[in-house]
Amino acid sequence: MAKNWELHHMCIIVKDIDKAVKYYQSLGIPTTIKPEHVSGKRIKIRFVYVNETPLEFVQPLEEESTFKEFLENKGEGLHHLCFFVDDIAKETAKLTKKGIKVLWSSETQTGFDTREVGNCILELKQIE
């Protein structure tokens, strides 16, 4: 079982998901590739595990999204770090009390605007 604040994944925005995966494979890094997931015309997602470390490659598609905006404004790169937490409501309350803005939220996930330092978003996912 995951521990509170254990890394779930790192999200990297890319122009071409196949090219990105092939590049990492060409480096000789031991990888395990999970099946691709397509969310309508919004995004394609593919998880690649480098040993135990999960990389989430996201390729924005036609529809507008924060991922597409990121790619257009900043190019390819690290978008967010996602951590498992025991209690999403409790951790969300702690961060919002510190003045951290919520970018998106659901019952089990919350994204926070922590781009002020390191230009990277923080995402929390409740342990299931």
- The 10s digit of each residue's pLDDT in 17-61 is 999 999 988 988 878 888 888 888 899 999 998 888 899 999 999
1: in domain:
no
65: in domain:
yes
Cβ–Cβ < 8 Å for 112, 103: yes
12: in domain:
yes
59: in domain:
yes
Measured over the CA atoms of residue 39, residue 71, residue 116 and residue 46, the dihedral's sign is: positive
Structural domain containing residue 104 = 6-126
49: in domain:
yes
* Cα–Cα dist 128/113, whole Å: 24
Residue 128 has pLDDT above 80, yes or no: no
- CATH classification of the domain holding 104: 3.10.180.10
- The 10s digit of each residue's pLDDT in 55-97 is 999 999 989 888 999 999 999 999 999 999 999 999 999 999 9
Domains: count for the chain: 1
Cβ–Cβ < 8 Å for 78, 54: no
